[in-house]
């Protein structure tokens, strides 16, 4: 068959469906300059391969802080390519003695993959308040169901690193201590809803930057 | 037109589509004797009007307890008719001085409708830890987004009552204090992930029935 | 431990994750000035606690009308805080003898909670046209599956009031009689698709404000 | 490249991933002998190509009945292969003068494709009760949004045929007249919730097989 | 009852709920001038009946091309009325000897309804690579699960026509040969990821308009 | 406050809500002995911490095969704890010169995180057949939208390893070459739907274990 002869015919075929398909949505890279919607950000008009890759997790987070740990997110705000795809990621660095304090992700389940060191992790069920805890080594994975309280801390004598994946582009991160003590929620309210005493609440507010 | 004449013809019409439609799913009352699935329980084979109504919220919960409050759920476990319908409810009774301590619903947003008394309620955002608080009177409604920490307490001098609706048949209820102190999660772990001191953790474990 | 010493270190930790999390979507209060999308309205840029509470259901609806009933909605149009949260509400007032005529909610299931009086309610299944009917008293709840025809009427000698919750922020309300008789759909069409006679259709069109 | 040499190596590769993938869910043909769930039927263990094709729509429905029309469904009950796939179909035959009376599909939107004859179709919006009506000829398509009242009737002098597709495997079909008049819902209740008079209700109950 | 007397009262009733319901979302016809979102396009402000019907599938596609086939889509880009409704359609024309080459729809399952001629169709499962193939005649339907490779070709001696419905408004269409050979993906890459030899890749790139 | 005194009262409070909450669904570990459903497997009755962790990705896959690569899945079949959680994972080992051939995941988007070596990866859009390709180094992530053709190969001189996360518990894996050549789909059909010549198809069928 003579290809040269086929080309004109074929191209007329190609042109029709391609123009017709021009608005097909294979992906929807977030246009962060627009308002968010309940299903995610409006789609950026023009994209390149760079929109689908992210390099920010290649660099260790700075763990020189009180919790000796750092969470480096690649959520939709940092990595707009995940918008609408039902997935995102973060890097977790935990120095020796460090901890990611008790927290939840309100909008997605989490899958943790240890790449270095030893991580002790656990979550607590809502019905019976049962703790589910594991010691994790490099190559191990663990899941934390959406919305349930969980924590991770370094259980070894070397720094620990993990990649964390989420089943949503914008999982959120609510650290219980920060929610209680890093704002101006009045101490009497905090005490009433937690059963903590006034001295404890005031001390933690002071440490975590809260007032009231 | 003579109705008597029409009936035989019409009935043959009626019989065909109705048998064809026999497996249509208008609703799916939970068969709690089966295993749950990620989308809810398998459907009960035979249902009556009684499966779609529930009387358990008509009775005030017993508030003679430490928190002087009671949550009476009408979730799928109590009211199987909500299975698959994306909605459920609960009744909230809060005596004078009572409180529903800090908690989350991992699997649904909440809408609270005050029917009696005065309720002070608030939730905390995950991003900036901003508290959003309101004083609510009879007839007022307030929403608490899925998975975010929130609380309610009686802010008046008479008992408070509220109906609570959830945008899911099985919202869950994770009370932070119970998750931390009403189980056998070891005290050193609780302390590490909360920044609370040993005395506080041990005292609350003792009060809330935890060990370790 | 000296808190004063910890603060500089800790704050550097706090600043990093918070700026990174700035676009986290805990909620999405509707910006009603924007176009709706299939998943709801774009999110309002700046919100306050007032966006999450609504007072419009505290006031009884005016039942001085033909049906002696009033539906007061707190859907996304009235209460933008429910946008994206999978829940909304309405208040139902039914005077003695009043009725909420046969209707459907195309986009959500309904949960009705009686607060005063006696309500007779029912829905009809689509497969076998089976009616499911109940007499409801204060404290009773009943569910009406999405899209199915249902009704409520006052079955007692005192006014009835109910809170209605929906498993979606914008459930819709299609009253069958209004859909048929309160517009300009030509009478012959209405007659053809309902089997009603011309006199009945013309009378109801006249009463309900329709033409044609 | 010597294929003979490659085979042993390659096959060891093939065997591993294939056994690992054995439970992958590409599809989920309904096992109608099991209970339904809110997301559809459990999957049949063993399937063949025949499970994915259906011949029942090739035969014209019998329109020798009162409405001179027939709806032949290919929903999950008739065509188990659509289970979990978010789609199903039906065939519509409308004789001259025939009508598919006012109805809704509670669980899916509809797309109608006319293959023969002329069909007059319309739906009514819920907000403003606006009718949207069209005359459709062979090759024309029209959509009817989920849960909204709509109808189709033959607008020509030859039989009309259409294929109907639904955005769900089990859309349901609630014909308003059948819901009101083809069951034992008491006439006074029907009258109260429709504004129809007693004679009309009793006549239609008699024609459509209802009692009470 | 005097209708004249009722009207003023009733109209005051009608006006209230209708204004309240003004933003109800029964449908969301795409405003294609706006950016898409992960859930579909923003809604057009003003719609007419014409927005819900489409005539483009009434005309046979031009099959005078290499594959002797034409796909005429009625996706959201061509038929904005399907936006948000979970359904769309296309027309398939296959001349004698024509073929719709191996392809997938990444975002919806497909239901094919043959209206003329004979179509041989098949899809391949992902787990065990099992082909499921059928010969289809007028009136037959077949489903192709979301994302799986499938094909259709004319198996008879007359032109074949089919209506295709999709369980989503924007299913996408990825033709494997076009994805591999109709762009500038370098030949060595194509060869590496397909096991095809250089001559085959270069020939197909030449035929299908690719370079590199 | 005397804890001893509080305990009896408090415990009565604890017992009530906990029994009421007994069927709350925080998670739904798959019971693989049951039939799958469209939303995932029924939930296992009794779970332990071990159900939420998986060690199978700690071990390098065997790359001594034709493609010099191995995919080790932690999908619901291998790791039942991910059932219903919207996430899963896999380990990717690619020896020097190795390749994961062109493939799709029909049921989830993918996020790849390189832990060792250099990976060249790309996907092709469906509308315009545009390739999006990147060279990825340790710490880099890239996303591949659901259902789109993509590939990965080792672009360096050392083995490459990656963790892959998916936004669903059962993403599927359809390798184009295996779908075409590793089964009994007749060669003339394969040739017709791919434009490949008979010699190429027969050779690849021979190499990949297909017949026909």
The complex's ipTM works out to 0.91
B127/C22 CB distance under 8 A: yes
Q: Does residue B75 sit at the C interface (CB-CB below 8 Å)?
A: no
Is the distance from CB of F107 to CB of F168 less than 8 angstroms?
A: yes
If one looks up domain A62-172 in CATH, what number appears?
2.60.120.10
F66/D6 CB distance under 8 A: yes
Q: Does residue F192 sit at the A interface (CB-CB below 8 Å)?
A: no
**What would the two tokens of residue A181 be?**
């003590």
Give the C-alpha separation, A55 to F138, whole Å. 9
C165/B165 CB distance under 8 A: yes
Q: Does residue B130 sit at the A interface (CB-CB below 8 Å)?
A: yes
**What would the two tokens of residue D157 be?**
């002098």
The string over D122-144, giving b where at least 16 C-beta atoms fall within 10 Å of a residue's C-beta and e elsewhere, is: bbbbbbebbbbbbebbbbbbbbb
Q: How confident is the model at residue E14 (pLDDT cuts 50, 70, 90)?
A: very low
DSSP state, residue C30? B
Which residue stretches of chain A are H helix?
Answer: 3-20, 176-181, 187-194, 198-208
The string over A190-204, giving b where at least 16 C-beta atoms fall within 10 Å of a residue's C-beta and e elsewhere, is: bbbbbbbeeebbbbb
Q: Does residue A71 sit at the C interface (CB-CB below 8 Å)?
A: yes
Question: What does the pLDDT read at residue A23?
Answer: 58
Q: How confident is the model at residue A175 (pLDDT cuts 50, 70, 90)?
A: very high
Q: Which of D28, D31, D38, D92 to mutate to test the interface with B (most CBs of B within 10 A)?
A: D38
Give the C-alpha separation, F146 to E174, whole Å. 12
Q: Does residue C185 sit at the E interface (CB-CB below 8 Å)?
A: no
CA distance B182 to chain C (A): 28
Q: Does residue E154 sit at the A interface (CB-CB below 8 Å)?
A: no
Q: B58-172 sits in which CATH class?
A: mainly beta
Question: What does the pLDDT read at residue A25?
Answer: 85
Give the C-alpha separation, E207 to E183, whole Å. 11
Q: Phi first, then psi: what are they for D98, rounded to 5°?
A: -80, 165
Candidates C196, C129, B19; CA nearest to D183 is C129
CA distance E8 to chain C (A): 9
The DSSP element (H or E) to which C191 belongs, if any, is: helix C187-194
Q: A152-171, pLDDT tens digit by residue?
A: 999 999 999 999 999 999 99
Q: Does residue A34 sit at the C interface (CB-CB below 8 Å)?
A: yes
Hey, which CATH number is domain C60-172, 2.60.120.10, 1.20.1050.10, 3.90.320.10, 3.40.50.11270? 2.60.120.10
Nearest CA in chain C to E28: C38
In DSSP terms, which residues pair with C165 in a beta bridge?
C89, C111
* Cα Dmax for chain C: 88
Q: What is the DSSP string of chain D?
A: --HHHHHHHHHHHHHHHHHHTTT--S---B-TTSPP-TT-PPBPSS--GGGGEE-GGGSPP---STTSEEEEEESTTT-GGGTTTT-EEEEEEE-TT-EEEEEE-TT--EEEEEEES-EEEEEE-SSS--EEEEEE-TT-EEEE-TT--EEEEE-SSS-EEEEEEESSS----EEHHHHHHSS---HHHHHHHH---HHHHHHHHHHHT---
Q: Where are the domains of chain C?
A: 60-172, 179-208
**What residues contact E185, with CB distance under 8 A and at least 6 apart?**
E210, E212, F122, F124, F131, F133
pLDDT mean over A105-117: 97
Q: Does residue C70 sit at the E interface (CB-CB below 8 Å)?
A: yes
pLDDT mean over A74-103: 97
Q: What percent of chain D has pLDDT over 70?
A: 89
Q: Is the pLDDT assigned to residue C14 strictly greater than 90?
A: no
F65/D22 CB distance under 8 A: no
The radius of gyration computed from the CA coordinates of chain E, to the nearest angstrom, equals: 23
Residues of F with Cβ-Cβ distance to E177 under 8 angstroms: 194-195
pLDDT mean over E133-149: 98
In DSSP terms, which residues pair with B54 in a beta bridge?
C141
Q: F60-75+86-169 sits in which CATH class?
A: mainly beta
Q: How confident is the model at residue F23 (pLDDT cuts 50, 70, 90)?
A: low
Place of tokens 């009434």: E58
Of the candidates E10, E26, E39, which has its C-beta nearest C37's C-beta? Answer: E39
Chains C and B touch, using 3 or more CB pairs below 8 Å: yes
Q: E63-172 sits in which CATH class?
A: mainly beta
**What residues contact A73, with CB distance under 8 A and at least 6 apart?**
A88, A90, A173, C17, C20, C21
What is the pTM assigned to this prediction? 0.94
**What residues contact D20, with CB distance under 8 A and at least 6 apart?**
F72, F73, F77, F78
Q: Does residue F156 sit at the D interface (CB-CB below 8 Å)?
A: no
Q: Is the pLDDT assigned to residue E42 strictly greater than 80?
A: yes
F78/D20 CB distance under 8 A: yes
Residues of F with Cβ-Cβ distance to D107 under 8 angstroms: none
If one looks up domain D53-172 in CATH, what number appears?
2.60.120.10
Chains D and A touch, using 3 or more CB pairs below 8 Å: no
Chains D and F touch, using 3 or more CB pairs below 8 Å: yes
Give the C-alpha separation, E150 to E142, whole Å. 11
CA distance C10 to chain A (A): 5
Is the distance from CB of E167 to CB of E87 less than 8 angstroms?
A: yes
Q: Which residues of chain B have pLDDT under 70?
A: 1-24
DSSP state, residue E156? S
Q: What is the DSSP string of E122-144?
A: EEE-SSS--EEEEEE-TT-EEEE
Give the C-alpha separation, D30 to D43, whole Å. 5
Question: What does the pLDDT read at residue B24?
Answer: 67
The DSSP element (H or E) to which F7 belongs, if any, is: helix F3-20
Give the C-alpha separation, A199 to A186, whole Å. 13
DSSP state, residue F42? P
CA distance E145 to chain C (A): 24
Angle at E187 between CA E183 and CA E193, to 5 degrees: 100
**What residues contact F120, with CB distance under 8 A and at least 6 apart?**
E189, F133, F134, F135, F136, F152, F153, F154, F155
Counting every residue written for chain B, the total comes to: 212
Q: Does residue B87 sit at the D interface (CB-CB below 8 Å)?
A: no
B197/A200 CB distance under 8 A: yes
Q: A3-20, pLDDT tens digit by residue?
A: 444 444 444 444 444 444
Q: Does residue D170 sit at the B interface (CB-CB below 8 Å)?
A: yes
Q: Burial, C94: exposed, middle or buried (Cβ in 10 Å; 0-12, 13-18, 19+)?
A: buried
Question: What does the pLDDT read at residue C23?
Answer: 58
Q: How confident is the model at residue E23 (pLDDT cuts 50, 70, 90)?
A: low
């Amino acid at each position: 068959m003579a290809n040269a002869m086929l080309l004109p015919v074929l191209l007329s075929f190609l042109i029709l469906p391609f123009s017709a398909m021009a608005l097909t949505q294979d992906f929807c890279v977030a246009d962060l300059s627009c308002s968010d919607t309940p299903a995610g950000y409006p789609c950026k008009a023009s994209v390149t391969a760079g929109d689908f890759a992210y390099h920010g997790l290649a660099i260790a987070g700075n763990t020189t802080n009180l919790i000796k740990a750092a969470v480096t997110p690649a959520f939709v705000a940092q990595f707009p390519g995940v918008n609408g795809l039902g997935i995102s990621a973060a890097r977790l660095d935990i120095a020796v003695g460090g901890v990611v304090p008790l927290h939840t992700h309100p909008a997605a389940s989490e899958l943790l993959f240890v790449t270095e060191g030893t991580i002790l992790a656990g979550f607590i069920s809502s019905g019976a308040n049962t703790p589910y805890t594991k010691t994790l080594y490099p190559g191990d994975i663990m899941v934390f169901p959406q919305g349930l309280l969980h924590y991770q801390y370094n259980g070894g004598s070397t720094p620990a690193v993990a990649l964390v994946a989420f089943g949503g582009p914008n999982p959120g991160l609510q650290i219980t201590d920060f929610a209680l003590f890093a704002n101006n929620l009045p101490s009497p309210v905090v005490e009433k809803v937690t059963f903590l005493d006034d001295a404890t609440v005031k001390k933690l507010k002071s440490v975590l930057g809260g007032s009231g």
